[in-house]
């Protein structure tokens, strides 16, 4: 799943499920504190952020439930694949996000992980959960757009 865009970003992992389950209000970029074996596994593309989310713990944001596979060549110094990982943000940004989470009942979900200038970054979305009828409507729109494109292709 290694895609390279023209802006110098090398996308490692996308969370497509997040846009189906949440309404995004705000997007921001954060760094991640990683161990050596974790970054090597990420460079191989063995990472999954589909069910992960971020919470506040002791004034810091922590990424929970992300899975970075074990690195084969790291024998005794290997990492735990489902460890909690600290996110790197400014104190002002952290305080703003914590306020949104507590006041508005929003959640923070990762949307994609990528390399930017050799550093692993993660794009976070401040999001509100969709209800069942919202999910049905988005599925209906997606199906209609797919059928519409088929009709146009056949007619031309």
75-84 per-position pLDDT tens digit: 777 888 888 9
Which percentage of the chain shows pLDDT scores above 90?
40
Where does the pLDDT of residue 114 fall: very low under 50, low under 70, confident under 90, or very high at 90 and above? very high
Sketch out the chain's domains with CATH numbers: 3-131 (2.40.280.10)
pTM: 0.79
Residues 6+ positions from 12 with CB-CB distance below 8 Å: 1, 2, 42, 45, 47, 112, 113, 114, 115, 120
The whole-chain average pLDDT of the chain stands at 88
Convert the pLDDT of each residue in 14-58 to its tens digit: 998 888 888 899 899 999 999 888 888 999 989 999 989 999 999
């Amino acid at each position: 799943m290694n895609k390279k865009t023209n802006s110098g970003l090398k996308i490692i992992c996308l969370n497509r499920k997040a846009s189906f389950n949440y309404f995004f209000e705000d997007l921001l970029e954060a760094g991640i504190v990683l161990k050596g074996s974790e970054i090597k596994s990420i460079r191989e593309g063995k990472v999954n952020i589909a069910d992960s989310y971020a919470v506040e713990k002791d004034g810091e944001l922590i990424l929970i439930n992300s899975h970075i596979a074990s690195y084969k060549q790291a024998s005794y110094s290997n990492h735990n694949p489902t460890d909690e990982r600290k996110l790197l943000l400014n104190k002002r940004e952290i305080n703003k996000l914590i306020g949104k989470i507590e006041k508005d009942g929003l959640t923070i979900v990762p949307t994609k992980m990528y390399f930017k200038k050799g550093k692993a970054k993660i794009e976070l979305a401040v999001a509100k959960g969709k209800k069942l009828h919202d999910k049905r409507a988005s599925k209906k729109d997606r199906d209609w757009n797919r059928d519409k494109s088929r009709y146009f292709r056949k007619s031309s």
